[in-house]
Amino acid sequence: MKVITIIGARPQFIKAAPFSEEFRKYGEEILVHTGQHYDTNMSDVFFKELGIPKPNYHLGVGSGSHGLQTGRMLEKIEEILIKEEPVGILVYGDTNSTLAGALAGSKLHIPVFHVEAGLRSYNKRMPEEQNRILTDHISELLLCPTETAVNNLKKEGITKGVINTGDLMYDTVLRNINLSNKWFDNGVWLKELKENYGLEADLKEKDYYLATIHRAENTDQPEKLKTIFNTFEKLDKPVIIPLHPRTKKILEAHNIELKNTKVIEPVGYLLMLYLTANSCMVVTDSGGLQKEAYFLETPCTTLRDQTEWVETLENGWNQLSSINVDSILEKVNRELTCFNHPQPLLFGDGQAAKKICNSILNRGN
């Protein structure tokens, strides 16, 4: 059975790792990298660390406006689909690479398998919300990470082909957390950050906040970014931020000053797991990182008005904050001692890759 899978952006590499390994035991995978992310530390590092197979095709699409980027991918993926004649095309998540793959497949009547189907923020201004709604509505297999996602699809009248497989990113965390500890324990993390990622400070475990910011809704308005970084200045501990290239560009263009903030280059996945598990709190607008903080029992403040990962809000483990100084400070400084960390059972049992493979292999049986 030949399946084409489309990847292109950082979180998709992390999702692809367990799926590719599992699927290749039973079927043929043709891996296509759109080139949406291309810096070494936004792409290559994940292939190396996670053992993701070398892509069969690299489209080299790069950055651009939504229409240009998606259009270029669509054109190139279509050519590959016509040549390879797969039985299905698998797409992950909600990026422009996801939508381009789904559209190319659907127009050629090639079944689309959507991993992370059914997530909704109910904010249609988000490019990700547009991508995931459109992808879900043209997919044949809707592989949901949670029961909430299954129910979201039901509300839109989609029940056929819907399967709760559990969350693929949970598989990746479970497979890599011990290795991450082995690599970075005993101060190696700090040495690594200083020698290879541009950290110029001494930090202690549990004595820093880990932040990531890249979401369009926070970066497209420099005023919002300024508010976020002004708030970081007022926190009681330093903030490490592996800076996404999108955010870096905007901070530089607007000369936004960073105080109490230690900027580093984007880090590899194993170091990121270590930093997440050992921070006192994650402060982020990332989708994936909210979940990883939850899996690793680190509290989180999410700098957004909505989250697709509503399970993480249980018991206040993750809390949302809109972008104003008082709200962010209130959420970050909230009392943590009363928390009981809920078990991540709502995200499956760490066997999502197996369940996704079985759903594809047994389709129509």
Q: How far is CA 278 from CA 10, 169, 203, in A?
A: 22, 19, 11
Shortest distance in whole angstroms from residue 118 CB to ligand UD1: 16
At 337, list the tokens: 């001692």
Taking contact as CB under 6 A, which single stretch among the options 116-124, 130-138, 287-295, 353-361 is the one that binds ligand UDP?
A: 287-295
Pattern 45-84, binding to ligand UD1, x per CB under 6 A? ------------------x---------------------
> Among 47, 87, 108, 127, which residue interacts with ligand UD1 (rule: CB under 6 A)?
127
The first and second tokens of residue 69, run together, are 């980027």
Q: Which does 36 bind (CB under 5 to 8 A by kind): ligand UDP, ligand UD1, none?
A: ligand UD1
Residue 244: active-site member: no
Q: Which stretch binds ligand UDP (CB under 6 A): 71-79, 144-152, 284-292, 301-309?
A: 284-292
Q: Which residues pair with 92 in a beta bridge?
A: 115
Closest CB 275 distance from ligand UDP, rounded Å: 8
- Pick one of ligand UDP, ligand UD1, none as the site partner of residue 267 (Cβ within 5 to 8 A by kind): ligand UDP
Please tell me which residue in 66, 214, 244, 341 is annotated as part of the active site: 214
Q: Report the interhelical angle of 222-233 vs 325-332 (nearest 10°).
A: 40
Residue 20's CB is within 10 A of a number of other CB atoms, namely: 19
Rounded-to-integer distance, Cα 261 and Cα 275, Å: 15
245 binds, among ligand UDP, ligand UD1, none (CB under 5 to 8 A by kind): ligand UD1
Q: Which of residues 211-240 bind ligand UDP (CB under 6 A)?
A: 212, 214
Q: Is 267 among the residues that bind ligand UDP (CB under 6 A)?
A: yes
CB-neighbour burial class of residue 134 (10 A; exposed 0-12, middle 13-18, buried 19+): middle
Which residue is associated with the tokens 């399946």?
3
Separation CA 6–CA 106 (nearest Å): 14
Count residues binding ligand UDP (CB under 6 A): 15
Q: Which of 109, 55, 97 minimizes the C-alpha distance to 73?
A: 97
What region, left, alpha or beta, does residue 27 occupy, with left being phi > 0 and alpha being psi -120 to 50 degrees?
beta
Interatomic CA distance for residues 80 and 77, integer angstroms: 5
Q: Residues with Cβ < 8 Å from 108, sequence gap 6 or more?
A: 78, 81, 82
Nearer to ligand UDP, 98 or 111 (CB): 98
Which residues would be at the binding site for ligand UD1 (CB under 6 A)? 9-11, 36-39, 42, 63, 94-96, 127-128, 214, 245-246, 249
Q: Catalytic positions, please?
A: 214
Which residues would be at the binding site for ligand UDP (CB under 6 A)? 10-11, 14, 212, 214, 242, 266-267, 269, 272, 286-289, 292
